[in-house]
């Protein structure tokens, strides 16, 4: 998969050796994330809103109420950025200054456009639903006319982006390696727990495979 062209907008300036512009890597990070933080401005006021989302090729789909400030902003064709972050570990160094995190993050930039037809909106909502749990769209009741009319769906055409990744042990000043202080990495991961059935669910309904074996590995998300 090709790379995004470096520009003043997407170039990683702080620790550039951690930056990456390969679309495949960037999209894998986005696909593994459950939440993206969407940033935009209205006049002098910036906003950042956490949202669920779906992706298909070079498009991110967002949805919400027809009265949403963000979706109104996007439907007007305005710019925004979307940030995806995966935390892989806490890095404990010998000095406070050199503590860090192991992480994979990506930022995508683009403009939005409203989806008007039922066919486009349903395809986008399927992508959002399948992003959370592949297979859920066919199991659940699909949106009815009232629900579809009350929902705005926006396609964000991805124009550029970048990733930033840190992995590995702490990096201390050379003279600190002799200190008698524990140093290393505490790995972290998203860990699903035992599913909790709805109390009002009819008896005899088993939890589906995508709930029992829920995973956020890239292979579990939309390609």
If DSSP states are collapsed to H, E and C, what string results for the chain? CCECCCCCCCCCCCCHHHEECEHHHHHHHHHHCCCEEEEEEECCEEEEEEECCEEECCEEEEEEECCCHHHHHHHCCCEEEEEEEEEEEEEECCCHHHCEEEEEEEEEEEEEEECCCHHHHHHHHHHHHHHHCCCHHHHCCCCCHHHHHCEEEEEEEEEEEEEEEECCCCCCCHHHCCCCCCCEEEECCCCCCCCCCCCCCCCCCCCCHHHHCCCCCHHHCCC
The domain locations on the chain are: 16-90+99-167
pLDDT tens track for 68-118: 888 788 777 888 999 999 999 999 999 999 999 999 999 999 998 889 899
pLDDT averaged over every residue in the chain: 91
pLDDT tier at 223 (50, 70, 90 boundaries)?
Answer: very low
pLDDT, tens digit, 9 for 90 and up, residues 44-60:
889 999 999 999 999 99
pTM above 0.85, yes or no: yes
State residue 67's pLDDT score.
72
pLDDT tens digits, 164-203: 999 999 999 999 999 999 999 999 999 999 999 999 999 9
CATH topology of domain 16-90+99-167: Pnp Oxidase; Chain A (2.30.110)
pLDDT at 220 exceeding the cut of 80: no
């Amino acid at each position: 998969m090709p790379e995004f062209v470096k520009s003043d907008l997407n170039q990683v300036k702080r620790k550039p050796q951690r930056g990456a512009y390969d679309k495949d890597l960037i999209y894998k990070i986005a696909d593994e994330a459950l939440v993206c933080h969407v940033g935009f401005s209205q006049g002098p006021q910036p906003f950042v809103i956490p949202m669920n989302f779906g992706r298909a090729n070079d498009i991110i789909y967002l949805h919400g109420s027809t009265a949403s400030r963000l979706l109104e902003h996007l439907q007007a064709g305005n710019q925004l950025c979307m940030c995806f972050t995966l935390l892989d570990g806490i890095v404990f160094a010998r000095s406070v200054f050199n503590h860090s995190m192991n992480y994979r993050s990506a930022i995508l930039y683009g403009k939005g456009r409203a989806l008007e037809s039922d066919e486009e909106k349903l395809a986008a909502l399927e992508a959002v639903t399948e992003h959370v749990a592949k297979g859920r769209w066919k199991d659940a009741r699909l949106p009815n006319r009232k629900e579809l009319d009350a929902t705005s769906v926006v396609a964000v055409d991805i124009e550029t982006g970048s990733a930033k990744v840190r992995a590995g042990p702490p990096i201390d000043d050379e003279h600190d390696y002799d200190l008698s202080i524990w140093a290393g990495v505490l790995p972290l991961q998203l860990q699903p727990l035992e599913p909790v059935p709805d109390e009002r669910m009819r008896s005899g309904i088993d939890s589906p495979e995508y709930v029992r074996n829920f995973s956020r590995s890239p292979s579990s998300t939309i390609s």
